[in-house]
Structure formats: structure tokens, C-alpha cells
């Protein structure tokens, strides 16, 4: 039984065994849904699974409000849209800030996870709801990494996929910028080895610093420069005879604001956990390398990139499209905004999403092709 429309609910999925050999006992996955499920819940149906980005949550109808709803590209009069909260996050699914089965919170006892672990947890979540298959999975950034892994881990459960603004594996540059963020948090005196939840303090300074670094990779260089340039923050002078913390450039004030906002809504240990999971993202691991893994993909998959993306440059989506075994289509978002364009360029995303949905109606799924050939192992 699915939760009431728009309401946050959690589903017990049992123990999660990570790829690295750890166990997350008595795990839960949080989710929301919009629209009415129709069709065979174990077969062909109208379920769309939406995967959020790093600090996203289950309320996709809020953070993707231009895309999800009646009459919109992901029309909830036609589709049943489900959005889970990733394993390791802090919006209802089991993560470092969750209660441990033995008491207290998980804290440093929460193991390192990777993208595949998240997908295994989501698969268990769907099975717990009696959903053996979905029409499509759609995700950007970290959600795109999860979507890619879904197509390789459970192709029998996914008819179509839309992958936005992500790569086949973490690049050295991405790992470098992301480990800098992790270090900002773990070197905060209030980190306490990840066991700060019961201290009354949190490593907010470190988390805010991490967010400032990250935000510069989420937005385009052109957009940031056009908005702020070398302007001073109102009533401040960063060009005085001596440097002072209270005399800032406007861009510094903006980034500090972004950092403070995140500390008010997100757990630092979850940020470390999810960022480390992205560092470990590599679809080629154990599959003979990236190109062999991509070539083995049978799920019709659409790839979308952003022309000004610093975090996941467009050439990484070109690599995906050249090597995927079943490329459905490719599209480019043209925007000065950078990586976040898939969240903020509403008109372009509307066209892309509507085209994707149309292609899923026109193109046979891997399962349908296999059935026509008399083979059922896709």
C-alpha cells in the first residue's frame, strides 16, 4: 500500500549489506509519491522513479515543481511519480543521524557506502511495496549516478532511464574537489570523529565551508561573474588597507549565505557519507571497465548534459552517449547556470522531459525486444 499523495512515509527494508562488506541493520527508506499507480505493479505500469541530487529530499514536487504535477511534463494525472530519499541521507532514510538498533544514533558506526549500495536499498524498497518494475527512472547529478547503476544492476526492473548531468565514474578532479569538502567537515573541532550528535554541537563551520566549495561547482563561472564580478557587499569595503572578515566581496557574502542555509537543513555526517559515495562512483568497477559496462546496458537510456557544467563537464555525457549499449537519445541544456541547470532551466527541461516520455511510448523496452525474439533474459 502506497502512502497518501505527497505525504512522507518510510518503508523497512531489512539489513543492507554494502559492497565493501559492512552491514546496515534494520534500514528504512523514506519516500513520497504523486499520482495513482496503474497497470501491473510487477510488470508494465505507470511508475516513474525520480532520484534526487546530493542534498535533495523526497519532495520532488517542490524542488522540481516546474516538472512534476498535473499537466506538467511528468504529469501526475497520467503517471505515478515516486521519489525516495537516498540511503545515508537525513530526510527519513537510514543514515548517520538515524537511531541505531542498539541505541543512540549511528554516527561513526554508519559505514561508508557507494552508489550501488543506494540502488540495492531502493530495489529492496520497491520490492517491499510490491513493485517489481517501473516504467522509467529519472535522475540528475547523484540521482543520475543512481539511475545509471539501476540500469546495470537491475535492467529487468527498469523499462527506460533518463540520466542527467553525471559521468560514468568520478574523475580525479571530482574526487579532489569532493575530498576537500569532506576535509572541511572532518577537521571542524565539533566533528568529534562523526559522533557529535549527542554533544549539543555540530560541525556547522565545516559544513558551511564544504557547501561554499561545492556551490561554486554547481553554478557556472559565467553566471557567478555576471552576477557579482568584483563588487563589494553593500556597506562593506574589501579594498581597505588591511584585510578584515567583515569587509567582503559580494560573491563571498552570497556563498556564506548558501553555506549557512545548508547547515540549517542538512546533517554534516550525511554530507560526508553521500559525498564519499560519489567519490566511489565507477560503473566500470568489476564489469571490465567503463566502456564494456556501458556497452552491456540494455535499458533504453536518454543522456542529458549541460554545456557549462564544471562539476560534470559535457564531454562526460558525450562519453556516455557514445558507448551506451542502448542509447535512446541525447540532449544538451544550454545555460550560463552550470550544473544546476537541470533544476532551474524549466522551459528547456520541460521540452526534454516531454520528449523523453514521448520516446518511451514510441520505443520498445529491452524486455519487449527480448520477448519478440523469444528470449526473456535481458
Q: What pLDDT score does 139 carry? A: 98
* Average pLDDT for 151-172: 98
Final residue of a structural domain among 227, 258, 277: 277
Q: What pLDDT score does 5 carry? A: 97
- List the CATH number of the domain containing 27: 3.40.50.1820
- List the CATH number of the domain containing 203: 1.10.1740.110
Shared-domain flag, residues 129 and 234? no
Tell me the catalytic residues. 141, 309, 339
- Element spanning 279, H or E: helix 268-279
Give a yes or no: residue 78 inside a domain.
yes
| DSSP for 212-277, written as a single string | HHHHHHHS-HHHHHHHHTTPBPTT--TTSSS--TTS-BHHHHHHHHHHHHHHTT--HHHHHHHHHH
Shared-domain flag, residues 152 and 85? yes
Give per-residue pLDDT as tens, 241-258. Answer: 999 999 999 999 999 999
pLDDT above 70 covers a percentage of the chain that reads 99
Give a yes or no: residue 140 inside a domain.
yes
Q: What pLDDT score does 378 carry? A: 59
Q: Is the pLDDT reported for residue 369 higher than 90?
A: no
Q: Is the pLDDT reported for residue 376 higher than 80?
A: no
Shared-domain flag, residues 51 and 190? no
Spell out the residues 6+ positions from residue 151 whose beta carbon is closer than 8 angstroms to its own: 137, 158, 161, 297, 298, 299, 301
pLDDT above 90 covers a percentage of the chain that reads 96
Give a yes or no: residue 301 inside a domain.
yes
Shared-domain flag, residues 291 and 349? yes
Neighbours of 332 (CB within 10 A): 16
Shared-domain flag, residues 119 and 26? yes
Give a yes or no: residue 293 inside a domain.
yes
Q: Is the pLDDT reported for residue 70 higher than 80?
A: yes
- Let me know: does 104 contact 198? Beta carbons within 8 Å: yes
* Average pLDDT for 127-133: 97
HSE value, Cβ hemisphere, 13 Å, CA-based, for 285: 13
Q: What pLDDT score does 309 carry? A: 98
Final residue of a structural domain among 219, 250, 277: 277
Give a yes or no: residue 351 inside a domain.
yes
Shared-domain flag, residues 258 and 202? yes
Shared-domain flag, residues 243 and 180? yes
Give per-residue pLDDT as tens, 43-52. Answer: 999 999 999 9
Give per-residue pLDDT as tens, 82-114. Answer: 999 999 999 999 999 999 999 999 999 999 999
Give a yes or no: residue 3 inside a domain.
no
Give a yes or no: residue 202 inside a domain.
yes
Q: Is the pLDDT reported for residue 200 higher than 90?
A: yes
Final residue of a structural domain among 253, 277, 301: 277
Q: What pLDDT score does 367 carry? A: 86
What phi and psi values does residue 369 have, to the nearest 5 degrees?
-65, -45
Distance CA 306, CA 204 (A): 31
Distance CA 99, CA 323 (A): 42
CA angle 346, 350, 352 (to 5 degrees): 120
Shared-domain flag, residues 303 and 183? no
Residue 12, Cα to own-chain centre: how many angstroms?
21
* Average pLDDT for 268-278: 98
Q: Domain total for the chain?
A: 2
Q: What pLDDT score does 377 carry? A: 60
Per-residue pLDDT band for 71 (boundaries 50, 70, 90) equals very high
Shared-domain flag, residues 306 and 179? no
Shared-domain flag, residues 198 and 146? no
Range of the domain at 210: 174-277
Would you mind telling me the total number of residues written for the chain in this entry?
378
* Average pLDDT for 46-73: 98
Shared-domain flag, residues 13 and 66? yes
Neighbours of 192 (CB within 10 A): 16
- β-bridge pairing 23-34 and 80-84: antiparallel
Indicate the pTM of the whole model: 0.97
Shared-domain flag, residues 113 and 144? yes
Q: Is the pLDDT reported for residue 375 higher than 80?
A: no
Buried-exposed string 220-254: b where 16+ CB fall within 10 A, e elsewhere: beebbeeebeeebbeebebeeeeeeeebbbbbbbb
* Average pLDDT for 271-282: 98
Strand partners, 68: 74
* Average pLDDT for 253-274: 98
- Let me know: does 228 contact 254? Beta carbons within 8 Å: yes
Give a yes or no: residue 2 inside a domain.
no
Strand partners, 163: 139, 303
- Let me know: does 72 contact 66? Beta carbons within 8 Å: yes
Give per-residue pLDDT as tens, 305-362. Answer: 999 999 999 999 999 999 999 999 999 999 999 999 999 999 999 999 999 999 999 9
Buried-exposed string 313-322: b where 16+ CB fall within 10 A, e elsewhere: beebbebbbe
Amino acid at each position: 500500500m502506497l502512502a497518501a499523495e505527497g505525504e512522507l512515509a518510510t518503508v523497512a527494508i531489512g539489513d543492507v549489506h554494502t559492497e565493501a562488506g559492512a552491514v546496515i541493520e534494520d534500514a528504512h527508506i523514506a519516500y513520497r509519491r504523486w499520482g495513482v499507480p496503474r497497470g501491473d505493479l510487477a510488470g508494465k505500469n505507470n511508475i516513474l522513479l525520480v532520484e534526487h541530487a546530493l542534498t535533495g529530499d523526497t519532495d520532488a514536487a517542490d524542488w522540481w515543481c516546474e516538472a512534476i504535477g498535473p499537466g506538467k511534463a511528468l504529469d501526475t494525472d497520467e503517471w505515478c511519480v515516486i521519489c525516495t530519499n537516498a540511503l545515508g541521507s537525513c530526510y527519513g532514510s537510514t543514515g548517520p543521524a538515524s537511531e541505531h538498533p542498539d541505541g543512540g544514533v549511528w554516527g561513526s558506526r554508519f559505514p561508508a557506502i557507494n552508489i550501488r549500495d543506494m540502488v540495492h536499498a531502493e530495489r529492496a524498497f520497491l520490492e517491499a511495496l510490491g513493485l517489481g518494475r517501473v516504467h522509467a527512472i529519472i535522475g540528475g547529478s547523484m540521482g543520475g549516478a543512481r539511475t545509471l547503476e539501476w540500469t546495470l544492476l537491475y535492467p529487468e526492473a527498469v523499462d527506460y532511464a533518463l540520466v542527467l548531468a553525471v559521468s560514468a565514474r568520478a574523475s580525479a578532479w571530482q574526487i579532489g574537489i569532493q575530498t576537500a569538502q569532506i576535509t572541511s567537515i572532518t577537521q571542524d573541532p565539533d566533528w568529534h570523529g562523526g559522533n557529535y550528535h549527542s554533544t549539543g554541537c555540530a560541525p556547522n563551520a565545516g559544513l558551511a565551508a564544504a557547501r561554499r566549495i561545492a556551490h561554486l561547482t554547481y553554478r557556472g563561472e559565467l553566471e557567478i561573474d555576471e552576477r557579482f564580478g568584483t563588487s563589494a557587499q553593500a556597506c562593506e569595503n574589501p579594498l581597505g588597507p588591511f584585510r578584515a572578515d567583515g569587509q567582503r566581496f559580494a560573491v563571498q557574502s552570497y556563498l556564506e549565505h548558501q553555506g549557512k542555509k545548508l547547515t540549517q537543513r542538512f546533517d554534516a555526517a550525511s554530507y560526508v557519507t553521500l559525498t564519499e559515495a560519489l567519490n566511489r562512483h565507477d560503473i566500470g568497477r568489476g564489469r571490465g571497465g567503463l566502456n564494456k559496462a556501458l556497452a552491456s546496458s540494455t535499458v533504453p537510456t536518454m543522456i542529458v548534459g549541460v554545456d557549462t557544467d564544471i562539476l560534470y563537464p559535457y564531454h562526460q555525457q558525450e562519453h556516455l552517449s557514445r558507448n551506451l549499449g542502448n542509447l535512446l537519445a541525447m540532449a544538451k541544456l544550454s545555460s550560463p547556470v552550470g550544473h544546476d541547470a537541470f533544476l532551474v532551466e524549466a522551459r528547456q527541461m520541460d521540452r526534454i522531459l516531454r520528449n523523453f516520455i514521448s520516446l518511451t511510448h514510441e520505443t520498445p523496452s529491452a524486455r519487449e525486444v527480448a520477448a519478440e525474439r523469444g528470449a526473456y533474459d535481458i
